């Protein structure tokens, strides 16, 4: 009987914890507004974006998570990888790196977005975006409306964004 009571208490606690309406990644002191997850993959070497640098970004991907705070800052964690296409007996290779640090952000619309901001067609239904600047200096436009966004630019070239409270 104690096991059943313990299970009921655990399930009740889990229900309360998962029903929270705000991001609790680093506690309330940071005044978190949203959590953003981005997965961008460029695995089609014939697509212009996946061409070797400087013509494109090369083949590989970037995956990161940002917790956005009310003061225009955020915590960033993720990874990036690149690989070359070598074929049978060819000069293939790969490399990866960690992304950790802070980010800054501001509200914007498509019309008022910072020059050079990266936008992949993940339209916010209210034309309201987080302009998130990550550690490499690039600024990504992320919809502010909670949900999942997906954009397939070509076979092997896709972007997934999830915005959670």
Domain contains 125? yes
Domain contains 7? no
Domain contains 1? no
**Domain containing 50: what range?**
30-164
Greater confidence, 105 or 31?
Answer: 105
Domain contains 8? no
Domain contains 56? yes
**DSSP one-letter code for 87:** -
Domain contains 15? no
Question: Do the beta carbons of residue 117 and residue 141 sit within 8 Å?
Answer: yes
Check whether the bond before 139 is cis (ω within 30° of 0).
Answer: no
Locate 126 and state its tokens: 């209210």
Domain contains 99? yes
Inform me whether the pLDDT recorded for 64 exceeds 80: yes
Inform me whether the pLDDT recorded for 3 exceeds 80: no
**Domains of the chain: total:** 1
With 0.85 as the threshold, say if the pTM is over it: no
DSSP reduced 3-state for 18:
helix
Domain contains 127? yes
Cα distance between residue 159 and residue 152, in whole Å: 6
- Convert the pLDDT of each residue in 44-59 to its tens digit: 989 998 888 788 888 8
């Amino acid at each position: 009987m104690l096991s059943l009571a313990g299970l009921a208490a655990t399930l009740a606690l889990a229900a309360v914890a998962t029903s929270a309406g705000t991001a609790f990644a680093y506690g309330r002191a940071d005044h978190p507004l949203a959590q953003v997850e981005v997965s961008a993959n460029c695995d089609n070497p014939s697509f212009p974006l996946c061409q070797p640098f400087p013509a494109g970004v090369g083949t590989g991907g970037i995956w990161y998570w940002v917790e956005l705070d009310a003061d225009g800052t955020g915590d960033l964690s993720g990874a990036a990888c690149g690989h070359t296409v070598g074929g049978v007996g060819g000069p293939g290779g790969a490399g990866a790196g960690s992304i950790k640090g802070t980010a800054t952000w501001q509200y914007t619309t498509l019309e008022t977005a910072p020059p050079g901001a990266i936008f992949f067609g993940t339209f916010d239904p209210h034309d309201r975006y987080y302009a998130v600047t990550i550690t490499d200096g690039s600024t990504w436009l992320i919809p502010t409306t909670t949900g999942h966004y997906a954009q397939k630019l070509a076979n092997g070239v896709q972007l997934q964004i999830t915005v959670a409270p």
